Amino acid sequence: MELLLVPSGISSHLPWQIFLLSITMAFLLSQCLAIVYERTYEGLSYSRSLFQTLALVGIISSMLMFAIGNNLARGIGIAGIFAIIRFRTNLRDPRDIVFVFASLAVGIACGIQVYALAIMGTLIFVLAVLYLKFVPVGSRKYYDGLLRFQMPPIPENTAKIQELLKESCRTFALVTMRDIDQGQRLEYAYQIKLQEASYREALIYMLKEIPEVSAVQLMMQETTVEL
């Protein structure tokens, strides 16, 4: 049994099983990409809607390829429609955009019935993502965290803090120094890399022991999180 699901002039008669197979495969492969995205996500603001978007984009792109077929005019018309529609969703992470393009590519490959390319492309993409996830390629971690505290501008205390940081940290750098009480007190912010991870509590305790030092905060940045 065959159904004419595509208008004449775009493609020949195609069995409905081919349409069902293409769209189903596009969804399954796009869902694999979405699962890999969720399992390898390393940011702070994970979006479940983006997960669902990745799983559905493949279906849409596959349907568009069937709708366009070999008709150039229809392709230009669909491109014009997408140009009119304004998508206001901003993807802040370039990695999110890469996954969206990967889902689009899977749907396009399924839409033109190149199933081997869709499967092999998805497999290679997933392996590349996992490789970059577990192999520390491109990581540049100079500091462990951000140290904040407040104190009056007393030279003796400043010297004590510099000595304490030299003893506790491999490297440290003053990021900001802000007036918070009309010159009576200053807020300091240092980026630090500790000698040992166990020095965290000791560093906070020793800072609080210095006279006039208050509001001590140490915000640690995990090795797998980009802020």
- The domains of the chain, with CATH numbers, are 16-134 (no CATH), 145-220 (3.30.70.60)
Residue 75 has pLDDT above 80, yes or no: no
Residue 122 has pLDDT above 50, yes or no: yes
pLDDT of residue 138: 60
Residue 186's DSSP bridge partners are 151, 179
pLDDT of residue 13: 57
Per-residue pLDDT tens over the stretch 126-177: 999 999 888 766 655 556 788 888 888 878 888 888 888 888 888 888 888 8
Count of other CB atoms within 10 angstroms of residue 198: 8
pTM, two decimal places? 0.58
In the three-class reduction of DSSP (H, G, I as helix; E, B as strand; rest coil), residue 60 is classed as helix
Which range of 29-33, 52-56, 202-206 scores highest in mean pLDDT? It is 29-33
DSSP string, 44-106: S---HHHHHHHHHHHHHHHHHHHHHTT-HHHHHHHHHHHHHS-------SHHHHHHHHHHHHH
Give the Cα separation of 59 and 55 in Å (integer).
8
What's the whole-number average pLDDT of the chain?
78
Phi, psi angle pair for 151, to nearest 5°: -170, 160
What's the Rg (C-alpha) of the chain?
28
Give the Cα separation of 159 and 127 in Å (integer).
51
41 neighbors 130 (Cβ within 8 angstroms): no
